[in-house]
Amino acid sequence: MSEVEDLLKDVNILREKLEYLIDKKNGNLIDPEVVAASKVLNAALNRYNELIEEKMKK
């Protein structure tokens, strides 16, 4: 699997985890666990975008 595919798989897992936490916390988007999970997902999405941009330049 390529790095992009691996990262996309991770992004989907992190998104599902975030959705689960939001549901578990009754929609409380400022809960520390929700915020932390959101930051991790955001970092993964940023890395994914960087990789896509790199591949488009080649």
- Per the structure, how many domains does the chain have? 1
If one counts every other C-beta atom within 10 angstroms of the C-beta of residue 56, the result is 7
**CATH number of the domain within which 17 lies:** 4.10.280
**Is residue 20 within 8 Å of residue 29, measured between CB atoms?**
no
**Where in the sequence is the domain holding 23, given as residue range(s)?**
3-57
| pLDDT tens digit at each of 58 positions of the chain | 688 899 999 999 999 999 999 999 999 999 999 999 999 999 999 999 999 999 898 7
Burial 24-37 (b: 16+ CB within 10 A, else e): eeeeeeeeeebeeb
